[in-house]
Amino acid sequence: MKYSEYKKLLKDHTLRITDCRINVLEKFYNTTHALSFKNLEDALSDYDRVTLYRTLSSFIEKGLLHRIPSDDGYASYGLCREDCTEGGHHHDHVHFKCNVCGHIECLPAYHVPKVELPGYEVNEQNLIVSGVCKICRKSFNGE
């Protein structure tokens, strides 16, 4: 993806164009899995931790990223490829956590099946599946 495209992406989400934000965006677009804060910090160590935290917050607020909670307490962040805006996020895809490589993936092709809970009002559903991812499985079997 080209620099100007990242710029447009930021502009479209009413975010000022800065070095840090471009780099964070780039990192997300060049990674197939979701990123934890630690991942980001390691990859972009020339920016202050605080700045990275604030970048994540603003991206989430503006609908560029979504937070993916994990059972171990450490959240990851994934790109919103859907129509998320400042108004709110609209995700219903499955998240997968690999117990081998530790990566968390968004699976936009798989939607969370709607459960009916009589008496309750259901607003959102969040499904995290864990196991072994495609890549780790391959390197385990065939090599």
Partner DNA sequence: GAATTAATGCAACCAAATTGCATCATGACT
Partner DNA sequence: AGTCATGATGCAATTTGGTTGCATTAATTC
Q: Where along the sequence are the contacts to a second copy (CB under 8 A)?
A: 67, 69-73, 75, 94, 96, 99, 107, 110, 112-113, 115, 117, 119-134, 137
Q: In terms of CB distance, is 100 or 129 closer to Zn ion?
A: 100
Say which entry of DNA, Zn ion, a second copy, none residue 16 contacts (CB below 5 to 8 A, set by partner kind): DNA
Say which entry of Mn ion, Zn ion, a second copy, none residue 101 contacts (CB below 5 to 8 A, set by partner kind): Zn ion
Nearest distance from C-beta of residue 109 to DNA, angstroms? 28
Answer yes or no: are the C-beta atoms of 113 and 129 closer than 8 Å. Answer: no
Characterize 61-89 residue by residue with b for buried, 16 or more Cβ atoms within 10 angstroms of its Cβ, and e for exposed: ebbbbbebebeeeeebbbbbeeebeeeee
Answer yes or no: are the C-beta atoms of 74 and 65 closer than 8 Å. Answer: no
50 is an interface residue for DNA by CB under 7 A: yes
Q: And the tokens for 72?
A: 């171990």
Q: In terms of CB distance, is 4 or 141 closer to a second copy?
A: 141
Q: And the tokens for 110?
A: 């798989």
17 is an interface residue for Zn ion by CB under 5 A: no
